[in-house]
A and B are shown apart, each in its own frame.
Chain A
Amino acid sequence: MNDWQTTIGLEIHVQLLTNSKIFSSSSTAYGSKPNRQASYVDVGMPGTLPVLNKSVIKKAIEFGLAINGSISKKSIFARKNYFYPDLPKNYQISQLDLPIVEGGFITIEGDKGILKKINITRAHLEEDAGKSIHSEQNNCTYIDLNRAGTPLLEIVSEPEISSALEAVQYMKKIHSIVTFLQICDGNMQEGSFRCDANVSINKKGDKQLGTRTELKNINSFKFVEKAINYEIRRQIDIVEEGSKVIQETRLYDEEKDITKSMRSKEEANDYRYFPDPDLLPIEIDSDYITQIKSDLPDLPDVKEKYYRTEYNLTDEQLNIILNKPSFIKIVDEILDISKIDPIKIINYFISSLYPKINKDNFSLDENPYLPKSFCETIDAIENGLIPKHSLKKIIDEIFLNKDSVSEILQKYSSEEHDDDLIDQTISDIIENNKKQVDEYKSGKTKILGFFVGQVLKNIKGVNPSIVKDKIIKALNSV
């Protein structure tokens, strides 16, 4: 086994997160009843024409820029012709020559633990097909065209991946980029992110690559690893037995953990690609690209380095923060405003604010004051002005409240107190500070602050105004 080396190229299909389909106005939402989201265009009714949903262009450009790819100023759609029942027109609108993104790369952690650059050949736009649902029971096939026309970005890597683990690393990296940029929801179970793997083996040192097989439609990181590993083993066994690997398309059977032949090259389609005469070329001007570039958030890689070196944030914290650009934006502001220890404030953030902004898909535009309110609240807690257990309730209140946070804090600081504890503490302090009591008695009322401070120091989160009242009472009765 050690004599062999593996060469893998991945084609990842990313469903772009748009409200409507790539060439029609029907919804792309997942899970509705069959064929409820298929318009005349999606069904391929005679005479219908595709009309490009422009929002897919922006998303493709964002991806292209994020991987340092080049954006084609002129890009064209082509028809890929093949017959399949869930492909209503019996051609798929895709791109062949002049795809929207050419070139680019990402960096993954390679097998030897060192960083490895994987080049990306291209990324192109296309429409998804529908689904065929086979029923053994009724001996028939049902067709659901809800998915037909969902926009896809197909990302094609160079054959530079050397193992199943590297393939998983690569796939995870692409997944994190497209979900981070919010151009895809990343939901692999619903098929929003799926991949085909081209796998071949050859002897170490051989320049000539072995015959490749294509593993189709794998929709989890785990299965990518298993399918590729099975396929490598299978190919090595074949060659070691003196046979030849056949170029073919194979399907991974998740239950049996094997790959099965789907069709061989001889049966493969000649797709008869040609430019789609129904669609004009996409022309993208450089100002538009520049604008998208300037709006593009720093990718997790860049941010990670910054948080580590500037703030010493922990792996655990980074794992959460680096998930979404909206988290990063808020965290950046919090770190900027807060005067307390960064690790501490981020821990507060993760335990209190993060669950809420994650759940509500909060964006800073909805309440730009939130980071400041949050920092003031944490300051008040750290200074013992309000009890820690009130934090959750305060977060709920400051969440969409754009007014000053001080009133809210005031309310919570007076909420609960333990009279006996306060009284006992006050009497202890009076007992131990006779000199200050005398000063007070002699008319130096400013000394009152000293007593309040002492109490607050002993009882975290107690309301200062209640303490003040009680101290005056106690001092007067001495």
Chain B
Amino acid sequence: MEIYKKSISELSNLLDKKSISSVEMTKYFINRINSYDSKLNSFITIDEESAEKEAKEADEIISKKKHSLLTGIPIAHKDLFSTKGTLTTCGSKMLENYIPPFNATVVEKLKKKGMVSLGKTNMDEFAMGSSNESSFFGHVKNPWNLEKVPGGSSGGSAAAVAARLVPIATGSDTGGSIRQPASFCGLTGLKPTYGSVSRYGMIAYASSLDQGGPIGKSAKDCAKIYDVIKGFDKNDPTSNKKTSLKSIDFKSHKEYAKNITIGLPKEYFSEELDENILSKAQDSIKVFKKMGFKFKDISLSSNNLSIPAYYIIASAEASSNLSRYDGVKFGYRCKNPKNLEDLYMRTRKEGFGKEVKKRIMIGAYALSSGYYDEYYIRALKIRRIIRDSFMSAFNEVDYIFAPTSPSTAFNIGEKTSNAVEMYLSDIYTTSINLAGLPAASIPVGMINDLPVGMQIIGNYFSENTILNIANSFQEETDWHKKIPGEFDNE
């Protein structure tokens, strides 16, 4: 049946017609994980027992005809979403033994719809990284080329979906952590408007930037997850009541393309961009033009400021968010602490990895008295400028189209010794987080058998049209259907 190739609505149909049960489907994907994941290391925890239990419950609901479109369909969660009773490590030694007593709102909402959680996906430690090399549980490999990184920080989710080990997965995006791995792995990833998806139970990296979202095979698949996880949550005061609760409504491009002008920011197509990517970008623009979308050159001149501003703000918030990991209440505790200070020092020295410690130090420094104005306050001002420049761009155009990453997936180990080069791989994504805007990355081509991603950026709460534009492209192209050869069999 080639179940692994099926979209969510196809899987839903099979369950609905009882061509396959949820238990069978769950076992099918668990088998794929068991046979393939040793190559990828995309999962930290595979929860066969509870998955089977959830699948049985789903089958009962289906037999009573009380099921939703998502009932019985397997999913995997990035390991920073709290899952009640299941290990939630955030990719860190600090939480290698942490089992949350409650579900994150995202997890709870999907569970209520009857989705079956297969396990928890690997990630950069505390979501800090662009290559999934900072995980305490080992790096993840890119299914398209096992020498390459899958991107980060949601690298495990992206690799697992790309290898079709699971139909769809959740991720989180603080500076590009959904879009960049989606682009490196040939997938569709949606980073929603800040505040449209609850952060409750999602282990914080940088509170004002973190946003959960789906990584899937197509815009349509992502929409089905986004429809469920979005909406105001009383447990998250930063979740936004303005979030539309209407389901994403897909239209043919004939109905709307001619009314839409898409901006091409010249700063995103500058010299830093790999020329092969540029040519793929131009190919994809041709596809859109053919459908009737109009294009216009624009400028987002503040984009060059986004990386330094991002690393100050994200690190400052992280330095405070990660203070709670002290060996006192939960998580890792050093052996035989001599006194309180020793407990703090050794727990944090032994429990956190290098990248996390680096960002805690950057953040604590930026918030210190005497440096606060120079770093933190200045970064906030830049953030405002970036937001304003997007707002004035949206006076000229309806959406913005830009590369997701300046390169395709790079080699494992290639950038680990050069922090600046690693940080620059987020150059096209962080400004969107700083502005709090929604964006989706879609696959638009291949270079040397590695996928290329482009992102569609919209104004606040424009997920509906972003996903429509992505879907219109996917109705005209097959890039999103490409499967890495090694994993393209039952």
Chain A interface (Cβ < 8 Å from any Cβ of B): 40, 43-52, 79, 81, 83, 85, 88-91, 143, 270, 272-274, 277-280
A143–B367 alpha-carbon span in the complex (Å): 29
**Inter-chain contacts of B201 with A (CB < 8 A):** 47-48
Chain B residues with CB below 8 A from A280, complex form: 237-238
Q: Let me know if B237 and A44 touch, CB within 8 A.
A: no
Report the Cα distance A83→B322, complex, angstroms: 11
Say whether B237 contacts A83, CB under 8 Å: no
Which chain A residue lies CB-closest to B195? A280
Query: Can you pick out 13 interface pairs between chain A and chain B where the beta carbons lie within 8 Å of each other?
Result: A45-B100, A45-B102, A46-B90, A47-B200, A49-B237, A51-B236, A85-B326, A85-B340, A90-B326, A272-B320, A272-B364, A278-B204, A280-B238
Is A274 a contact of B203 with CB atoms below 8 Å? no
Most buried by B among A47, A277, A280: A47
B13, CB-defined interface residue at 8 Å: no
- On chain B, the residues within 8 Å of A278 by CB distance are 204, 207, 237-238
Contact B326 A270 (CB under 8 A): no
| Interface residues as binary, B196-220 with A (CB distance below 8 Å gives 1, 0 otherwise) | 0001111110111000000000000
Residues of B within 8 A of A279 (CB): 237-238
How far is it, in angstroms, between the C-alpha of A278 and the C-alpha of B368 when the chains are bound?
Answer: 20
Cα of A421 to Cα of B406 in the assembled complex, Å: 112
Q: 8 Å CB contacts to A: which residues of B283-330? A: 316-317, 319-320, 323-324, 326, 328-330
Give residues of chain B (60-105) contacting chain A, Cβ–Cβ below 8 Å: 80-82, 88, 90, 95, 98, 100-102, 104
Q: Which of B88, B104, B207, B320 has the most CB of A within 10 A?
A: B320
**Contact string, B338-364, partner A, CB cutoff 8 A, digits 1/0?**
001000100000000000000000001
* Residues on the A chain within 8 Å of B202, using CB: 47
In the bound assembly, the distance between CA atoms of A118 and B356 in angstroms comes to: 48
**Are B367 and A81 in touch, CB under 8 angstroms?**
yes
Q: A270-B369, A280-B238 are in contact. Are A46 and B95 (CB under 8 A)?
A: yes
Decide yes or no: A90 and B208 within 8 Å by CB, A270-B369, A272-B367, A274-B367 being known contacts.
no
Which of B81, B235, B316, B323 meets A274, CB within 8 Å?
B316
Residues from 218 to 259 in B contacting A, C-beta threshold 8 Å: 234-238
Complex alpha-carbon distance, A47 and B340, angstroms: 25
Instruction: Report the bound CA distance from A337 to B208 in whole Å.
Output: 60
Contact A47 B104 (CB under 8 A): yes
Q: Is the CB–CB distance between A91 and B234 below 8 Å?
A: no
Complex contacts, A52 vs chain B, CB 8 Å: 237
Chain B residues closer than 8 Å to A43, beta-carbon distance: 329
> Within the complex, which residue of A51, A89, A270, A273 is in contact with B324, where a contact is CB–CB below 8 Å?
A89
**Cα–Cα, bound, A89→B321 (Å):** 8
Q: How many Å from the CB of B28 to the closest CB on chain A? A: 31
> Beyond A46-B95, A47-B200, A48-B200, is A277–B207 a contact (Cβ under 8 Å)?
yes
> In the assembly, what is the distance between CA of A46 and CA of B100, in Å?
8
Instruction: Flag if A51 contacts B207 (CB, 8 Å).
Output: no
Give min CB distance, B101 to chain A, whole Å. Answer: 7
Contact B199 A49 (CB under 8 A): yes
Task: Check: B428 CB closer than 8 A to any chain A CB.
Answer: no
Q: Which residues of B contact A81 (CB under 8 A)?
A: 319-320, 323, 367
Minimum C-beta distance from B315 to chain A (A) = 12
- Measured CB to CB, the closest approach of chain B to A2, in angstroms, equals 39
Q: How large is the interface on B (under 10, 10 to 19, 20 to 34, 35 or more residues)?
A: 35 or more
Say yes or no for B372: interface residue by CB 8 A criterion: yes
Whole-angstrom CA separation of A452 from B237 in the bound complex: 75
In angstroms, Cα B236 to Cα A273, docked, is 22
B102 in contact with A274 (CB, 8 Å)? no
Distance from A235 Cβ to chain B, minimum over Cβ atoms (Å): 27
Whether A51 touches B326, Cβ cut-off 8 Å, given contacts A45-B100, A270-B368, is no
B364 with A47: CB separation less than 8 A? no
Does A46 lie within 8 Å of B320, measured CB to CB?
no
User: Inside 8 A of B100's CB, which chain A residues have their CB?
Assistant: 45-47
Shortest C-beta distance, A470 to chain B (Å), equals: 74
- A143-B328, A274-B367, A277-B207 known; A45 and B323 CB under 8 Å? no
State the Cβ distance, B198 to closest chain A Cβ, in Å: 9
* The one of B82, B234, B316, B326 that contacts A47, using a Cβ cutoff of 8 Å: B82
A274 to B208, CA, bound (A): 12
Alpha-carbon distance A334/B236, docked complex (angstroms): 50
> Given that A51-B234, A51-B235 are known contacts, is A274 also in contact with B204, CB under 8 Å in the complex?
no
A46→B367 contact, CB < 8 A: no
When C-beta atoms are compared, the residue in chain A nearest to B233 turns out to be A49
Whether A45 lies near B330 (C-beta < 8 A) is yes
In chain B, residues 157-216, which have Cβ atoms closer than 8 Å to a Cβ of chain A? Answer: 199-204, 206-208
Question: Which of A43, A44, A45, A272 has the most CB atoms of chain B within a 10 A radius of its CB?
Answer: A272
Chain B residues with Cβ below 8 Å from A274 are: 316-317, 320, 367, 372, 376
Tell me the complex Cα distance, A277–B205, Å: 11
Known pairs A40-B102, A89-B323, A274-B376; A51 contacts B237 (CB<8 A)? yes
Which A residues lie within 8 Å of B200 (CB)? 47-49
Q: Within the complex, what minimum Cβ distance (angstroms) separates B460 from chain A?
A: 16
Which of B111-131 touch A at CB < 8 Å? Answer: none
Residues on the B chain within 8 Å of A91, using CB: 320, 323
Q: How far is the CB of A44 from chain B (nearest CB, A)?
A: 5
Q: Given A83-B344, A90-B324, A280-B238, does the pair A44, B199 have CB atoms closer than 8 Å?
A: no
Q: Give bound CA distance, A146 to B211, whole Å.
A: 31
Point out which of A40, A44, A46, A279 has the most chain B C-beta atoms below 10 A from its C-beta.
Answer: A46
A278 to chain B, nearest CB (A): 5
**In the complex, A46→B104 CA distance in Å?**
10
The residues of A that contact B207 with a CB separation of less than 8 Å are 277-278
Inter-subunit contact A49/B235 (CB<8 Å): yes
Kindly list chain B residues whose C-beta atoms are within 8 Å of the C-beta of A40: 101-102
- A273 to B80 Cα, complex, angstroms: 26
Q: How far is the CA of A278 from the CA of B90 in the complex (A)?
A: 19
Q: Which of A83, A143, A274, A279 has the most CB of B within 10 A?
A: A274
User: Is A83 in contact with B101, judged by CB distance below 8 angstroms?
Assistant: no
Contacts of B206 in A (CB 8 A): 277
CA distance A91 to B206 in the complex (A): 15
Q: How many Å lie between the Cα of A50 and that of B234 in the bound state?
A: 10
Q: Which of A45, A49, A89 contacts B101 (CB 8 A)?
A: A45
* Further pairs besides A47-B199, A47-B202: 20, Cβ < 8 Å: A40-B101, A45-B82, A46-B95, A46-B204, A47-B81, A47-B82, A47-B100, A47-B201, A49-B199, A49-B200, A49-B238, A83-B326, A89-B323, A89-B324, A272-B364, A272-B369, A274-B367, A277-B317, A278-B204, A278-B207
Contacts of A51 in B (CB 8 A): 234-237
Q: Is the CB of B236 within 8 A of A85?
A: no
> Could you say which of B98, B101, B208, B329 contacts A44, with CB atoms under 8 Å apart?
B329
What's the Cα separation between A143 and B327 when bound, in Å? Answer: 13
Q: Verify A47–B204 contact, CB threshold 8 A.
A: yes
The 7 A-B pairs with the shortest beta carbon distances in the complex, nearest first, are: A90-B323, A277-B208, A272-B367, A277-B207, A47-B201, A46-B203, A44-B324
Within the assembled complex, what's the spacing in Å between the Cα atoms of A71 and B317?
A: 28
Q: Give 1 or 0 for each of B14-36: 1 = CB within 8 Å of chain A CB.
A: 00000000000000000000000
Say whether A46 contacts B326, CB under 8 Å: no
Q: Which residue of B lies closest to A51 (CB)?
A: B237
**Residues of chain B contacted by A49 (CB below 8 angstroms):** 199-200, 235-238
The residue in chain A whose Cβ has the minimal distance to the Cβ of B344 is: A83
Cα A51 to Cα B203 with chains together (Å)? 16
A133 to B372, CA, bound (A): 35
The winner among B88, B95, B324 for most chain A CB atoms within 10 A is B324
Residues of A within 8 A of B204 (CB): 46-47, 278
Residue in A79, A143, A278 with the greatest tally of chain B CB atoms within 10 Å: A278
Which residue of chain A has the shortest Cβ distance to B369 in the bound complex?
A270
CB neighbours (8 Å) of B95 from chain A are: 46
* CB of A426 to closest CB in B, whole Å: 77
Residue numbers in B under 8 Å from A88 (CB-CB): 324, 328-329
Q: What's the nearest-Cβ distance from chain A to residue B413, in Å? A: 30
Alpha-carbon distance A30/B292, docked complex (angstroms): 68
Q: Which residue of B lies closest to A280 (CB)?
A: B237
